[in-house]
Amino acid sequence: MTKSPTHPAALFAVDGLLTDEEREIRTAVRRLRDRELSPHLAEWFEEGRIPARDLARQFGSLGVLGMHLRGYGCAGLGAVAYGVACLELEAADSGLRSLVSVQGSLAMYAIWKYGSEEQKQEWLPAMATGERIGCFGLTEPDFGSDPARMRTRARRDGDDWVLDGTKMWITNGSVADVAVVWAQTDEGIRGFVVPAGTPGFTAHDIKRKLSLRASVTSELVLDGVRLPGSALLPGARGLSGPLGCLNEARFGIVFGVMGAALDCLETTIAYAAEREVFARPLASFQLTQQKLADMTLELGKGLLLAIHLGRLKEAGTLTSEQVSVGKLNNVREALDIARTCRTILGASGVTLEYPMIRHAANLESVLTYEGTSEIHTLVIGRALSGHSAFA
């Protein structure tokens, strides 16, 4: 006997946990995804190139750039609404969600949270519309997990600052109009707003990536970059400045990766219903059903965790350790789901005709950036044991 299939998210009644406004945002982002993004995803990934400016303007028109920030042209929406938008974007491609995360949660957030009124007025409205693109330079060639040891240095020269150093693996780097750059100073780590045209500032694309191909990743070189005193972010002192921004972006990833997982699972369920092996639908075999059931459990738990963390964020009680719990769990499970879905498609699963190998390849970067899985494990371990494994 056959029954009509149930959608995986329906088993967890996730829809009922969202407000009408959050569902409307989901519909709007999904519409853009279906019409403007999905037809091009395989091509952008294969070519390793995206129309970043056009995309930024489209995301700006939709209102998702800095949508969780208040004022300066931003919508001031809740954390779950932002999360739902990340989920829908990452169901398209992690690289496109990254463009939005880096713009809104890293570059815009840094200026919004730590910037002067003048910096906010100058940059945020144009970044919210996507007219201007931002990047966030924390990682260096020798210091990724341990940014406290960064070598980039800013020294005072009269009223000016002069920056020297190299930042590596910077999303949106070579298409950015503005870079938020973190540097050592005599008073500890400070942040700077660096307009892309400043003499001594150059950005080069990193080539031959096999993950996050639909995303611009660059090296930033700062060679005697002279900035006025007004380029300093006055509100950020020490490593807590950049780490505060990372919390925002990591939160978006908790939701986002569930979008990649859901896209894989939906595609796989449809494929397994159609594909016949041994003269029966692939979906009718117990081993396939076990994979589908196990993946649905992890997807549902991940969605519930994301919404729970979102409600905590809206209540103002979310801790950075709780964000680590969400980032570690949901990225790990999404990657596992993408790989398992790939097996169900057999050889077809290794092509760009289907999304799983693309999502799986992308999720390898997501596992590493915004704090590797090992770093989040150690953050949780520190919370549980009281002992820091970093010191």
The DSSP-derived string for 49-72 is: ---HHHHHHHHHHHT-TTTTSEET
Out of 122, 298, 370, 374, pick the active-site residue.
Answer: 370
In whole angstroms, what is the distance from residue 121 CA to residue 116 CA? Answer: 9
The only residue of 150, 180, 183, 212 in contact with ligand FAD, by rule CB under 6 A: 212
Distance CA 66, CA 102 (A): 10
Whether 333 is catalytic is no
CB of residue 145 to ligand FAD, shortest distance in Å: 3
Helices 240-274, 286-315: inter-axial angle, 10-degree rounding: 150
CB of 380 to ligand TGC, least distance (A): 11
Q: Is 174 in the site for ligand FAD (CB under 6 A)?
A: no
Residue from 119, 171, 267, 268 in contact with ligand TGC (CB under 6 A): 171
> Does residue 189 touch ligand FAD according to CB under 6 A?
no
Q: How far apart are CA 313 and CA 184, in angstroms?
A: 30
Q: Does 247 bind ligand TGC (CB under 6 A)?
A: yes
Contact status: 147 vs ligand TGC (CB under 6 A): yes
Residue nearest to ligand FAD (CB): 144
Q: Is 249 in the site for ligand TGC (CB under 6 A)?
A: yes
Residue with tokens 């009269």: 158
Q: Where do we find the tokens 């002067």?
A: 116
CB 145 within 8 A of CB 193: no
Question: Taking CB under 6 A as the rule, does residue 323 contact ligand FAD?
Answer: no
24-34 b/e with 16+ CB inside 10 Å = b?
A: ebbeebbebbe
Q: 190: which DSSP letter?
A: E
Interface with ligand TGC in residues 70-129 (CB under 6 A): 98, 101-102
Which residue of 38, 58, 129, 145 would you call a contact of ligand TGC, by CB under 6 A? 145
The C-alpha atoms of residue 325 and residue 340 are separated, in whole angstroms, by 22
Minimum distance, C-beta of residue 136 to ligand FAD, in the bound complex (Å): 5
Nearest-5° Cα angle at 360, 354 to 363: 135
Q: Is residue 216 within 8 Å of 173, Cβ to Cβ?
A: yes
Considering beta carbons, is residue 225 or 292 the nearer one to ligand FAD?
A: 225
For residue 46, report the phi and psi dihedrals to the nearest 5 degrees: -65, -40
Pick the closer one to ligand TGC by CB: 184 or 320.
320
**CA–CA distance, 363 with 212 (Å, rounded to integer):** 8
DSSP 163: E
Q: Binding of ligand FAD at residue 166 (CB under 6 A)? A: no
Ramachandran region, residue 386 (left: φ > 0; alpha: ψ -120 to 50; beta: rest): left
Is residue 138 a contact point for ligand FAD (CB under 6 A)? Answer: yes
| Residue 138 makes contact with ligand TGC by CB under 6 A | yes
Out of 105, 152, 174, 365, point to the residue binding ligand FAD (CB under 6 A). Answer: 365
Instruction: Tell me how far, at minimum, the Cβ of 375 lies from ligand FAD, in Å.
Output: 6
Specify whether the CB–CB gap between 319 and 313 falls below 8 A: no
Is residue 105 part of the contact set for ligand FAD (CB under 6 A)? no
- Candidates 225, 53, 229; CA nearest to 137 is 225
Binding partner of 217, given ligand TGC, ligand FAD, none, CB within 5-8 angstroms per partner class: ligand FAD
* Interacting partner of 239 out of ligand FAD, ligand TGC, none (Cβ under 5 to 8 A depending on kind): ligand TGC
Active site residues: 370
Give the binding site for ligand TGC (CB under 6 A). Answer: 98, 101-102, 136, 138-139, 145-148, 171, 238-240, 243-244, 246-247, 249, 320, 369-371, 375, 379, 390
Give the binding site for ligand FAD (CB under 6 A). Answer: 102, 136-139, 144-145, 169-171, 212, 217, 365, 368-369, 372, 374-375, 389-390
